[in-house]
Amino acid sequence: MNPAGALISESMLEEASRLAGGLTDFGDDSFRGGLARMCESLNGEAKLSDTGRYLFWQKFVGQLVNRLRIEDYFKRHPEIAAERVAPPVVIVGLPRTGTTKLHRLLACDPRFYWMAFWESYYPVPFTGESLEHPDQRIAKARGDVDLMVKAMPHLNAIHPMNADLADEEFMLMEHSFLCGLNAYADVPGYMAWLDRQDQTPPYRFLQRTLQFLQWQKRKRGIVAERWVLKAPHHLLRMDTLLRVFPEAKVIQTHRDPVQSIPSIASFIHTLWGIYSDRADPVTAGRDWNDTMKRALEHTMHLREQLPADRFFDVRFKDTVQRPLEVARQVYAFLGLPMSAALEGRMRDWLAEGEKTRHGKHEYPPEKFGLSAEQLQRDFAEYRVKYILNG
C-alpha cells in the first residue's frame, strides 16, 4: 500500500480499521459512495502533487478512523445519544464577510456551546487521553496551526488561524464524504456528482457529532444552552440545514460580492496550492464564483418562502466598524439579554484581536479570471436585494 500513489477507497477503509484496533462499524454507509467518488476525481482531475496525494490519504484515513471511534463511543456510552441538541444559532454568509469575527464574538457568551478548531479537527479523544483533559488533542492542533502558518505565511491575513478559538463545523461534516471537496482541489466531476446526492447525511452526521462533543464538554464541566455554529457551506444547503434543525435561528452576513468573491478565490487558490503544484487561479476563481452564485440564490429564494423572523441580516462593514452594536442587535433578534459582564468580555476579546491583526490581503480579480462588471452581472439579484438597497 503506497499512500503517495493513487488514492483507493478500499485501501483507506482497511487502513482505518487497522489503526482503530480492528473496529469495523463506520456508521451510516452513505459515506462510501462519496469516498469512492472523491478518490476518482482526485486521481483523475485534481493534478495532485505527491505531497497532495499523501495529505489527502492522511486526511481521509484520519476521518475514517474518527467515524469508527465515534460509533464505538456511542455503543459504549449510550447516554451520548440522549444528549439534547437545542435549536442552534447558525451564522452563514459568503466567506470573507465577517462570519469568523461574529462567530468568535458570540463565543464569548458562556450560554453558547461552540467548537474550537482543535475540536473540529480532532473530535475523538486520543488513545490514553481522558475525557476531562484533552491536552493531547489541543497540543496537536496547535502544532498543526503553527505548521500551516509557517508553510503559508499569508494565511492568517486571509483567515485568522487559532487552535483554541471557535471555528466552523464544516470539518465535522467532511466526515460524511458528501461535502464541498472543491475547497481543497479542482474536482468538477465530484462536485457535479455531489449536486445530485441527498444532502441529509452530512447534516445528520453533524447532529450526531454535536451530541458527542456536547457530551465531552459536559465531562469537562462546560454546560451551555445551545450551539452557535458557522459555515458558509450552509448557504448552498439551507433547505437541508433547516430540515434537520427546524427551529434554528440564522444570522446571514452580507458584503458586496464584487469585493468578497475575489477574496474567496484567493483563499481557495491558496488551499489548492497545498495539494497541487499546478493549481490554476482562474479555475479557482470561476469555480467559486459559480458555486457562491448558486449558494446565494438558493438561500435567497428559500428565504422568500419562510417567516422573516427565522433570519437576521448583518452587514460586513458594521461587523468591522461597530461589532458591539451588531452583537446587541443579534441578541435582540435572539431574545436574549446581553449583560454588562458579557459586553465586557466581548470588549476584551475585540481589544486582544486588534493586537494580533495580520497583514493586508491582496486579491486583484483579474488574477482569478474575474472582473467587476462580470461580478455585478452574476450577482445582480443578490446585490439589489442586500447590498445596493440593504
Mean pLDDT of the chain: 93
Residue 73 is assigned to a structural domain of this protein: yes
Asked whether the beta carbons of 224 and 113 are under 8 A apart, the reply is yes
Number of Cβ within a 10 Å radius of residue 147: 10
Q: Enter the DSSP assignment of 166.
A: B
The amino acid occupying position 16 is A
* C-alpha to C-alpha distance for 334 and 251, rounded to whole angstroms: 10
Question: Which secondary structure element, helix H or strand E, spans residue 380, and what is its range?
Answer: helix 380-382
What local confidence, expressed as pLDDT, does residue 1 receive?
A: 41
The pTM (predicted TM-score) of the whole model is 0.94
Task: Give every CB contact of residue 11 below 8 A, 6+ residues apart in sequence.
Answer: 1
Number of domains present in the structure of the chain: 1
Residue 197 is assigned to a structural domain of this protein: yes
Residue 4 is assigned to a structural domain of this protein: no
The grid coordinates of residue 231 equal 459555515
Domain span including residue 147: 9-388
pLDDT band of residue 302 (cuts 50, 70, 90) is: very high
* C-alpha to C-alpha distance for 299 and 233, rounded to whole angstroms: 11
Rounded to the nearest 5 degrees, what angle is found at the Cα of 176, between the Cα atoms of 312 and 30? Answer: 120
The tens digit of pLDDT for each residue in 65-115 reads: 999 999 999 999 999 999 999 999 999 999 889 999 999 999 999 999 999
Residue 316 is assigned to a structural domain of this protein: yes
Residue 121 is assigned to a structural domain of this protein: yes
Residue 3 is assigned to a structural domain of this protein: no
Q: Which of 158, 185, 184, 170 is nearest to 260 (CA)?
A: 158
Residue 57 is assigned to a structural domain of this protein: yes
Residue 2 is assigned to a structural domain of this protein: no
The tens digit of pLDDT for each residue in 139-192 reads: 999 999 998 888 777 666 666 789 999 999 999 999 999 998 999 999 999 999
* C-alpha to C-alpha distance for 225 and 184, rounded to whole angstroms: 34
CATH number at residue 144: 3.40.50.300
Q: In what order do the strands lie in the sheet with 89-92?
A: 112-113, 226-230, 89-92, 249-254, 311-315
What is the full DSSP assignment across 197-239? S--HHHHHHHHHHHHHHHHHHHHTT---SEEEEE-GGGGGGHH
Total count of residues recorded for the chain: 390
* C-alpha to C-alpha distance for 108 and 105, rounded to whole angstroms: 6
